[in-house]
Structure 1
Amino acid sequence: MNRLELAAVCLLCLLVSVAALPALAAGVPPRPTAEGGLSDLSLAGPGVLETDAGIEANATSNSEAAALSGESSGAVLWQSEPFRASLSLSPQAGTSEYRICAFALANGTRSTAGCERTTILEGSVASVNVTGLTWPANASGSQRLAFELHPAGEPNETLDNRTLPVTVLTRGGDSDGDGLTNEEELKLDLDPLDADMDADGLTDGTEIDDYGTSPMSADTDGDGVRDGEEVEVGSDPTEADSDGDGLTDDTELSIGTDPTSPRSTERLAIGAAALLYAGLGTVVLRRRDDAEGNEEGTPLATSAPRATLNDAVTTDGDGDRPADPPETPDLLTDEDRVLHLLDRHGGRMKQSAIVEATDWSKAKVSRLLSSMHEDEMIEKLSLGRENVISLDREWIEASTSSTADGDDPDSDAPEAAADGAGRTRAARSDP
């Protein structure tokens, strides 16, 4: 044999070896090179729960087979319960009588499950049923089922073989360790080979026995939080709003409140209200500070005319009336509301106008203004039967002095009032 022929033979051997690798890796011996043999294997019977693609379960176990996830390879069988195998047989040249045997390869041992003899003419295909098969009672879990084809009367000569991976279950066992027996899981349409069917962090048995949740829904109450997470935080996985505070558990976890305590939401609401109140109070005080700062910064020799007493208290008549100010916020104190009204009306208002603006009783307004006057928050000036309320003490004193000296209170000429240091202070104009 020359080198070229030797290379061709080596290449052929390499190709044959590569072609056989998938079958060897799957644990299935390759078919004999001779034509004919076994094909189209299927299992059926009461002992069959699930079969892989190409394997047909009997009609009585279809509902149970539908409940399984298909994660197992090959078939799922009940231990010690009968089933049968169906195979197609093609004859090999020179042989017409055959013997087909099934073996349970369990726990490292090989035991015969059953055999069947058949005769087939050359050139035809026969369907053979191997009946009366049961899985040994001492073996469960992942096992293998093997089939061998022999010439009749020659058991040591193997013409063909097939193996199928199987998972063997006991009815009272718990193959996935979820706290439910295999039989219980099948009655509930659960998978006896999957401990947590809905992947919510709780085993199927824990969901049914301890929490009353659905092992087929990751979020039983539909609140956006998985059942397992709700158990971890202490909320109720069967109630969307565990503490009954109007917020779902998912919302409370998102904003940082406790979904198991309604008081956490109450504290959040109180805190928000306090912040709002503080913000409004700050705005009012800032406006007052700005008004006082503008008054102190007015030039002493200003030529702007000072509003007269009558101008400050006019509420009716033919003249133009200032536009009504915006409503006072409800969260202010009564004193702050009065100060707010005075500030918006240029610092001066009739007492009757305050009654009208606040919709309070005359008695309440009178008591409140007297108290504020005593606390030096405002100044009061009696004008006949009416009181004028002002934020400006010096304006009141100047107006009282000009009225006592006989000056015309309606005059538009600029006036100045002397303070205690002998300086003059320009009166401010109404807006």
Structure 2
Amino acid sequence: MVAFVVSLAAAGGATAAADGTLVRAEFADTVGVVEGPDHPHVWESESNTLKTTFETTEESDYYEVCVHPEGSDADPTCTSERVGPVKTVSVNVSFENLSAVKERNLTVELHQRVEGKLVLADSTRVDPVVIAKDGDLDNDQLTNRAELDNGTSMYRSDTDRDSLSDGSEVKNYETSPLRSDTDDDGLTDAQELEMDTDPLSSDTDDDGLDDSLETRIGTDPTRANNRQMLVASVLVVVGVIAGSGFVVLSNIRGVIGRALAGVVAASARLRSTSSAGDDTEGPTETTTADGQPPDSETASPDRETVPADRPKPVISDEEVIIRLLRDNDGWLYQSEIVEARDWSKSKVSRMLSSMEESDRIQKITVGRQNVIAESGSVPEGLESPFGD
């Protein structure tokens, strides 16, 4: 329902517009949008005021202003007034809401009485974009109201162009939908999620090296170890070498790569030497002239062969989560899973989404937290009222 409440106010001292326009109109309360069309945006459910002004002429002292939505069957709403010796008249048209104006333009007509007849003096059109607060113009899972609150575009699903939708950044990853690199470490949020680094921390493994640096030099940005600290030292050495001139980046990488390879080889030799050193107090091995061990030392077929160390079974991350839940009466808060395993929030979120799709877990939102429960172990009182 639209209610028109018209008020007039006169102001002297103004003259007609330079382009000859007599009447102008605009909405008082508009919505600021990012990267949207160049039209006034207004909320459908809120009241608003159409502010109309017109210039009087010497030909008449009686005017009528009419406002109506184009294409509507409703009669236009008009008001008429006799005005004195003024130049500018303001007319405010109030709307309880703008549902009747949705997808329509508003026409404002100014009539004046000339020789006893009302004639059209001027007209203008207002082209508002009427939007619903709970709508989603760009289908990015953020309502139009939420887009306004976050400063994102209602017309672009990925405002910062980092290949992550605004909705997923706000709701799932807690990254900034306005900055492609939330933690400013040189890697976009999408790259960090793909690499399983934390888009909210420039140094995921807290080893003193930024994630982007570790990516460039070939170390693991999710695990802190001595090799990475060695890399930092190598970089310092390379920096000293480069002090007298420019060093090609590929050469630097080659130096670092060779240094890392040397560390790995040295570590392997050290482990081998340590293992051999365990038997140094026993008899040393002797050989015959032909290089073969003596007959007395030939391995006996009856001698029991010592089995090699068996690798530990690999437990998937999803199985780790299931075990965590079972160790805690079948459920935990999502934040507790993050803390328990020291995983990034984005990694936990992706794993839980996958596990929920395969019905291994159930996710229940309680206030601002998510309760994660193994299927069939939802705490009493938290079951969905819409379940079977």
TM-score (structure 1 length as normaliser): 0.43
More helix by share: 1
The structure with more radius of gyration: 1
TM-score (structure 2 length as normaliser): 0.48
